[in-house]
Homo-oligomer: A and B are copies of this chain.
């Protein structure tokens, strides 16, 4: 299928990749090269005033939108997650990726707590909750489940904020 798509013969592909597994692996690496917490959450310009917006908008950035390339990333991530559920090798890699996002959320929430925007207890579980929700929301959109993604994400974000900071 791939050979046909790229207009080559199968043996040609074997010239560039030792095996199917290598092709898959390198494809994953290529596809995920820009899938990082910082690519979605713009923490370089983070401030007390744009905090809530950064957190909220970062999540929306992670969800699939019109962008074809981003959609591909999520599509492949979904396939990758499948494989990871079966294959120890892929699992390790997936865990590393998840950990990065988890750390990202934890740091972000930490800063929010310092600024008094985020409730300072249980930062870790809160970070996990955010990560789990945004990850699963992505999957749901990919499967065309019918739910109000933005409302769910806003609700989740709000649930970690101190009362007076909640977005409307």
Contacts and interface: CB of A to CB of B under 8 A. Distances in A.
A98 interface: yes
Interface residues of A, number: 36
A129 interface: yes
Looking at chain A's contact residues, the main secondary structure is helix
B125 A155 contact: yes
Q: How many copies does the complex hold?
A: 4
Interface in A90-118: 91, 94-95, 98, 102
A144 interface: yes
Interface string A134-161: 0111011011110110011011100110
B145 A125 contact: no
A128 interface: yes
A47 interface: no
A67 interface: no
Given A79-B85, A132-B136, A159-B159, 8 more contacts: A78-B85, A85-B143, A91-B144, A95-B143, A122-B151, A122-B155, A129-B156, A132-B140
